[in-house]
Structure 1
């Protein structure tokens, strides 16, 4: 039994993240051989990463939730056939605009609205006709692991498939004792559990988005474009006086630069067709890894959740700048991210306010909240099961960043259909040169 920490229970009501890996090319083995290899290597990997083979379970004697790794271990492994042919699957790997309905057919479901709930599931899909294409979809219960842990697991599984051994410098550790020893951790975890699941074993899961109203697009920024964006933001902040007193502004990190551009472009697109006033509040949430910020720090091999969600607050007017100066909004957003990281991520005790996390969540206006997921440090395009790197990796229906080859970053954004074109115009206007709006990632390295 693994007792959940506040980092875990903060994701208890969140829909399970679904990730899709698309592979194609002549190096793919026959489907039966491919499935057999994936099954064997998955079993060996789960023997080491045991929480993914367990279930999220409510304790009967108190209001605690645990991961039960003891009974009937295993994951659901689905073999499926896609309704389209191999050429259609090739198209899915290259179009900038997602075929959301098709993507949802290629990832497994996970029922998390009632405990016990499975921790992980896999689906392997081949085309109805033709060969040379396969999709591997995974889904996880977010109370079990964060994005860093998923990346850790996928890297280990793919290496086990390719080489017959795990790619881990040290065995993963699951014990939350290093987190739960904090004086506010257990109380914070219980408060979050009561908020997400006041009637255990039922969980009040946040509603899923209506994908029929959405359009999701993917953009690839290469290393040169990212450096230009970072430099541009730094110059804008110097012009606007956004640095600390007597000090020029620090250049933004890659994450801050792209997250700032995402936030301002999303708010601009949303404000065009809404009655938002300039003084309306706008929020953006972003995850910050706390493994090295705890005292003592957790081991790098820790597997679970150890990210804290932080928030930046601004106003529609400051981000949109209706006077036409879009650069001013971008610089303002970046300063907000940098301030939140400097004052909260770097200086504060990550669990010092754990008992107030629910209060903070309740104070947000969900309609004005932009949620960012993923990380440019998660190099999911390195997940090679033995037949080459994926031609495409996506979180389904999630605004996310992922690391891409050659120092690039992949950005994916789902939005209501009437907002997509405005978002794209704003987003691309701040990026120098041609932004790929999806093509094979190998092109970024040439």
Structure 2
């Protein structure tokens, strides 16, 4: 990230892969401040709003951008946020009331999205900065015994150090404000980010298969209609394991440090996969009867402390989509991401939440509802794959919905890519179900050529 410190409007540039925004537009931190005295006006809304904006101005000024545009240069684009100091655009802060629930109710529901106050279930979770949505948002919920605050960041900011600085600064301001203006109040802060959630679950044994997996298996066994036959990927499908050793990760990390804007290592690998899919598709010049039926990516992994730690205990976010190749044939990575982004808008996070809730209440009706999303010609599903040396799981994390940890199915769907740490040798493995032509394009990539080993796991 770079900034121009002048009296004129400041410009901030940073990495932005359009697929990042299409796949996982927002990561969320939840904080709870407890009011031991149970005072109804525990924390003043204007006070919370002021400290939020103050922390942004100090530590994350690009969030006050008056305009945002992107210089597209696939696979990574430069997103430029322009901030006019004379008229900064402060993000909206929304107020919600939920006096039927307490902070303890939220804490008992577990970590991550599961612990969100019910009042937030219908809050918009898709944030597209190129369409004018703020890079950061805040929703404040007044509970029966305190206040909950959900800070949503666009994943365009996920790798920027300023985000961590903002979190520390805002926590400091909130603590000092409470101490100065409300000394009788006891403050409790819970960071329920995905990392905290994963630290809690990595030691657990693998859960048994869930009905979700059985339903996916049933769908895979159904005879295909003529239409679906016409949209199958060209060539024979097989599951491949691509071994990426530690030495190559270090090389990618070195390339990352020299890059402008600064991409994350997993984002670099994912972009290479995107390019290989597009290149193989263009080389094959498929006829209408030979089309890519599925296009997916696994782009967003928020880093911890090293290039390898990015694959250990973080959420890899994936979008799985059914899109005819006629819409993607001449598209570059940016346009493909835009297609996915458009399809993602067809089903809101609220719809996914209701599906999960309906499953909990009426298990027999879940298969029918899910099939509508899977089999529809423009269907999309949001999956989050958690990575751990203890094993590979995925969780359904539909926006703000409660995550459900599930054993990953043995058969990887078409176009789906999964990153996983190697068990002994170091480095990572990338699993994907695709064709030999795509694998050939991946192996010929200038960054990967001569460094990766490809294993065919089996044909499908």
**Relative contact order (C-alpha < 8 Å, sep 6+): which is higher?**
1
Q: TM-score, normalised by structure 1?
A: 0.42
